[in-house]
Each structure stands twice: as structure tokens, then as C-alpha cells.
Structure 1
Amino acid sequence: MHAVSPATEADPAALLFQFLTMAGSLIGRGPYVQVGPAQHFANIFVGLVGETSKARKGTSWSWVRQLAYDVDATVANRITPGLSSGEGLIMEVRDANVANKDAGASDKRLLVHEPELTSALAAMNRQGNTLSQMIREAWDTGDLRVLTKNTPLRATGAHISIVGHVTRDELLRTLTRTEAANGFGNRFLWPVARRSKFLADPNIIAAPPLAPLVKGLRQVATFCEGLTAVPRDAAASELWGEAYPRLSEGQPGLLGAMIARAEAQAVRLSLLYALLDQSGVVGERHLRAALAAWNYCEASAHYVFGSAWGDPVTDELLQALREAGGEGLGRTAIRDLFGRHKSKGELDRALQGLEAARRVRREDRQTGGRPAEWWISEKE
């Protein structure tokens, strides 16, 4: 990243996470970390979140794509744009089908670049669209299957990596509660990207020396050939034991849903750092680097999702209670807030969830008759 940063307005974090995604795609489905019955490979999903459309997300991707072409044209040719359907995703990594005289995909590595991630999120909301399910299976096992009426589609051992670009407002507007709750969202890392500097004429800056990076990545690819299980050494295991409780802590609301796979994400990042270091063992420094990368993604998630619950009723109610300040809102005012179109059960669930997360508190106020139920936002 130090080689490229002086010559671009792109955020170093955007360069880093897209580079890691590209490197994981290059490495392929060989090395893995065993966690119980699950195997975590080097493929990761990154949703790069720009504060605005001027965050230079596309600029950062251009450098990573160029590096991929310089390293291995074969891998670069496995970069494909767009996510629209689960069937389309499987077709890129499909198994051979002798009956249909289809030789299948000769290379099961695939790096999907989606410059408009909102398009994919919108596609998932269409009835019958299997994209969300296939993306989740691609992250979990790499074994994908859709039972179509005429020609069943199947892919086994697929090594799919994803880079998507989106603005914060677009993401919050299009990510549904279902996609957050079903685990689609937490299979992605969500680093925030900002414009790092202003370069009115980047052409006057000498082109960064990519040759050492190209040579190093080629050596990494060679090193990883035939490599399978990658264990942690003793120091890394001790550090993991210290970090694990915090990684495993739950968070309320949409934020909690989006970072619920913190442990697994840290495992994959540590594997990537070890392999880029051409090490067959995850060492302490690899894990520390992975935890630092995860901490950035977690902080980004707090910024992007921290004030949202992923439920329109809860989000609107919490915002209204915050605006009401210490005075709070009574039950009648809360019903009126929604035009009396929400049932008591819906409002109860929203209030009880906020109360359990200590975002609001209930008071019973004397009115001369039966005490009135009142709700006040807690200071955060």
C-alpha cells in the first residue's frame, strides 16, 4: 500500500482490503484454517463503503485490477463484473455436465467486482432470486446448487471472492432486515473509504514501482501450491485466546447482525496475512495484523450501522425518542407517530427490544388516574 498511496487519491484502507481480496482469489482453494468441522479458506467478501460517490472507490480498484493482470493474466481473466442472480454466479464456476456436453469451468476461482452493490441488493429482493443464498453458500462451503426445472446447476469446490462498492446512504436504504438477519451481511467486511488527498494532476507523480509486488505475489502463489491445513503457532494461539471473548461479544440492532461473524472473519484475515508472508503457520504477527484489520472493519460498521436496527419501526421510534429528549413520549404520542397504523404488538416488540438493549427506559407517570406509560431515550 505504501508503494501506491502517494500516486492516488484512494484511501489506503480501500487499497488494502481490495488487495487482500484479490490475493485470496489468486491463492485459490488450497490453504485453509480448520475451525471445528468448518474449513476457512482465503476468499473474503468486501463491501467498500464510501461516505459519498467521491470516495475514490473505483480509483482504488483500478490499481488492484492492474496488479492482478500483471501478476497472472489467467487470474485476471477470472475477474467478472456484476451480481444479478444465483444461477449466473454458479455458471461461472459450474461443474462439468457430461449429459449436456458441458466441460464446466476449468478454473474454480472467481473474483466478482460489483461497482454498484445496490444493484445486487435490489436483485435479492425480487421474488425467486437465489443470489443471496448462493453468496452465503459461496462463503460457507464453496458448494453451490440450484435445482432448475430443466437443467440443475451445481458447483463444488468453488473459490469465490467479492468486492462491492456502495455509499453509506445507499447501503442503509437497500439492505433489508432479512438480508441482515439471514447472515448475508455479516459474511462481508464493510470498511469505510474516504478520499485520502487531492491530486489535481496525478500524472506528474512518478508511477509507483509495482514490480516488487508482482514478483512477491507470484512467489506467494507458488508457495501456496499443495498447501492445505494451516495451524496457529503457540504464540498466536495464546493471543487468539485473549482476543476471542471480545470477538464473540454480541451487539444489539443492525450493527450486531452485521458483525456477528467477527471470529470467522479474523480467522480468514489471519490466514491471508500468513500466506502473504509465505508462512505455513499463522504466527502472532499475522494474527495481530488480522485483528487490526478487523478492528478497522468493526469501527467502520459502528459508523455505518451503529444507529440503525434494521427494522423501520424500531429505527423511526428510536429517532423520535431521541428528538423528544428528557421529556420522552407517551403511548398515545407513539401511536400517533405511526398514524395509528402499527399494532400494539409491533410497538411492544420495538420498545421491548430497545429497552433490553438499554437504549430507552420506561417510566410510569401519575396523571390523576391510572399511571401513564412513558418512554425516554437513554444517553449513549
Structure 2
Amino acid sequence: MAVSMGYQVGQQQVPAITDKRLWVIESEFANVLQQSRRGGNTLSAALRDCWDGVDLKPATKTFRVHASEPHVCLSGAITPSELLALVRRRDLLNGFVNRFLMVWGERTQVEALPRRAPQARVEALAAEVVDILDFTRSMSEDGGRTVLMTMTDKARHRYASLYQRELNEDLGSTLIDSLLERRAPMLLRLAMVFALTDRTWQIEEEHIDAAMAWVRYATDSVGFVLTGGQQFAITVSGRMGSRPNLRLLSSQGFCVAQRFGGGLLWSSSAGHCR
């Protein structure tokens, strides 16, 4: 946990942590749900605060540490059956689950002995990530940690149009609507990431469209999972489906289902496949 101020353990003084970024990878997201179900456990509330970006101040009488301005990301994996069995209806409606971008994943082929990805390809991807990180560090204002990102006029108009219509569309189910209530802020966060991968501090219309493709896919994923894999009669911008549309992202310029070692590689750069 990133600590805002130093604290003392016995006679040892633990210094403050200034880098408040934390990326948690939980391959068994069921563990998180089981922990949050325990009486008196504050994990659900803490994760909601992380998404909102507010200071974390656990209400404990001893070892009172806290984190200011945390920047936390949690990536989890879970099967639909586990999700439906462990998530309580309260979690579905209180804003806990809808703070996660839920996307359906499936393999497109079966390989008994997957081949390793070429080392040159791995190094090229790593170099590109480093280049993006260097860009974000070098452009910070006056050496500060926060930079204001803006949108072009076309991006603003595109987002406003989506916000007035599809992003606030009634999907005909109180439960599904509650799980997708944060589609608009999710879209903006994704568009920001896509802009940064293009080494620009300005969000353009194509970044909004690329982010909207993911939001639409997440919308399909939620409907598919909550109906147990059966066909869900929900019309979203003229789309009807019995499962998430795996071709949707590809149509938006994403490189979908490229073999990368034993898994799948999803990549995008403002809608351009590379």
C-alpha cells in the first residue's frame, strides 16, 4: 500500500512513499469477491474509493496509515459461473461491480503445444511501451506528476453525441443498466490511454471511437454473462446478439486474436492495426 506519510514500527521509522501507483493482477478474482463477503471487511469500499481517486484512510485504531491521491488498477479474471455465484445483488447495485470494465474473453483455436513468441517481437513491444512511458514522463508540466489532457473540437462533439444517446441508453433491465452506469467515464479513461499510446496529450475523435468500441463490447459482455450465455434480447444501437461481438473491435481497427505465445494479443493505436 502506498503510504502518504511515514510511520513507525517499534523503533524503526518507515519513510513515506511518494509514488502512489499500484497495479494489482488477480488471476483468481473470486478471491477478491470472497474477501469482500466477510463480515466487517472493507475491501469493497476501499476498491470503490480507489476508482474514485479519493484518499484511502482505513478506520483502524492501531497502525493508522493512509494513502493520499492513490492511483490503483486491478486486473482480474473469473469465470461467469463463479461471478454469478459469488457476487451478491448488493454488489451489483451499489457501484462495486460497475467500477470494473467487464469484457468477455475466449480462445479462437486450440493448440496442444503453443509456440513461443519470437523474441524480436517481444522486444519490439517492450521497446514501444518504454517509449510511451518516456513520453508521458518527459511532457509533464514543470516536472510535476499531473498533466491536463484536452479534447479536440471534433472529439468533444463526438463524445457529446454519444453521451446524449448511446452512453445513457436504457437497456431495458435495471440490473444491466446499473452494471453499465459508468460507461461514460470508462470511455473517457480509455480514450485518454489510446491518446497517450499515440504520444499525444490531446484526445482526438478517433480515440473516442476506439474507446467506444470497447464500451460496446463490454455492454455485450455484461448482457451475455448475466443471462448465463443464453441469447439476451437487448438492442444496443441496432445490434442484437447472443454473445459479445468478437468482430466489433476488429471493425474499429483493432488487431484482434493475433497469436502471441499461448494467448491472444489485442492491440490498438487510435484505431490503427500494427
TM-score (norm 2): 0.74
SS across alignment from 2:77: strand
Q: 1:164 aligns with which of 61, 68, 76?
A: 76
Residue 268 of structure 1 corresponds to 189
Aligned twin of 1:281: 202
Secondary structure at the residue paired with 1:161? Answer: strand
Partner of 2:218: 297
Please give the secondary structure, in 2, of the residue aligned with 1:155: coil
1:99 offset after TM fit, Å?
Answer: 5.2
What is the letter of the counterpart of residue 141 of structure 1? G
* Aligned pairs for 1:165-184 within 5 A: 165-184=77-96
Structure 2: which amino acid aligns with 1:255? I
CA distance, structure 1, for counterparts of residue 174 and residue 58 of structure 2: 32
Distance 1:271 1:204, change over 3 A: closer
Question: Which has the bigger relative contact order, CA under 8 A and spacing at least 6?
Answer: 1
Cα distance between partner residues in 2 of 1:176 and 1:104: 37
Q: Identity of counterpart residues, as a percentage?
A: 28
Q: Which amino acid aligns with 1:199?
A: E
Structure 2 Cα separation of the partners of residues 199 and 273 of structure 1: 31
User: Partner letter of residue 231 of structure 1?
Assistant: T
Pair 1:248-2:168 in alignment? yes
CA distance in 2, matches of 1:216, 1:204: 20
Deviation at 1:151, TM superposition (A): 2.2
Number of matched residues?
217
What's 1:198 paired with? 110
CA distance in 1 between counterparts of 2:129 and 2:118 reads: 22
Q: Distance in 2 between matches of 1:96 and 1:122?
A: 31
Q: CA deviation at 1:215?
A: 1.7
CA separation in 2, counterparts of 1:132 and 1:281?
33
Tell me the alpha carbon deviations over residues 105-138 of structure 1, each in whole angstroms, 9 at most, x when there is no partner. Answer: 3532111111111121111111110100010000
One-letter amino acid of the counterpart of residue 6, structure 2 = N
CA displacement 1:36-76 (0-9 Å, x = unmatched): xxxxxxxxxxxxxxxxxxxxxxxxxxxxxxxxxxxxxxxxx
Determine the structure 1 residue equivalent to 2:16: 104
Query: 2:211 aligned with 1:211, yes or no?
Result: no
Cα distance, 1:296 vs structure 2 = 0.8
Kindly indicate whether residue 58 of structure 2 is the aligned counterpart of residue 138 of structure 1.
no
Are the structure 2 counterparts of residues 204 and 184 from structure 1 closer, same or farther at C-alpha, using a change threshold of 3 Å?
A: closer
**Gaps in structure 1 of 5+ consecutive residues:** 1-91, 309-380
Q: CA deviation at 1:306?
A: 4.7
Q: CA–CA distance in 2 between the matches of 1:271 and 1:141?
A: 16
Shift of 1:257: 1.5
The DSSP-based 3-state class of the residue aligned with 1:195 is coil
The AA in structure 2 aligned to 1:280 is W
Superposition RMSD on alpha carbons, in Å?
2.0
Larger radius of gyration: 1
- In structure 2, the partner of 1:129 is 41
Q: Give the deviation of 1:210 after TM superposition.
A: 1.9
2:255 counterpart residue number: none
2 CA distance for matches of 1:137 and 1:240? 26
C-alpha contact (below 8 Å) 2:7/2:16 kept by paired residues: no
Task: State the Cα distance separating 1:223 from its structure 2 match.
Answer: 1.4
Distance in 2 of aligned mates of 1:240 and 1:115:
33
Instruction: State which of 133, 157, 163 in structure 2 corresponds to 1:238.
Output: 157
1:96 CA drift (Å): 2.4
Does structure 1 conserve the Cα–Cα contact (< 8 Å) formed by 2:7 and 2:65?
no
Question: The residue matched to 2:23 in structure 1 has which SS?
Answer: strand
Task: Give the C-alpha shift of residue 219 in structure 1.
Answer: 1.5
Over 3 Å counting, the alpha-carbon distance change for 1:305 and 1:208 in structure 2 is: farther
Distance in 2 (alpha carbons) for counterparts of 1:260 and 1:208:
42
Q: Which amino acid aligns with 1:160?
A: V
Specify the SS of the correspondent of 1:163. Answer: strand
User: Higher mean Cα deviation, 134-143 or 218-227?
Assistant: 218-227
Comparing 212-221 with 257-266, greater Cα deviation is found at 212-221
More helix by share: 1
Give the structure-1-normalised TM-score.
0.54
Query: Is residue 142–residue 159 contact of structure 1 (8 Å, CA) maintained in 2?
Result: no
Aligned partner of 1:348 in structure 2 is none
Greater mean deviation of Cα atoms: 269-278 or 215-224: 215-224
Q: Counterpart of 1:146 in 2: which secondary structure? A: coil
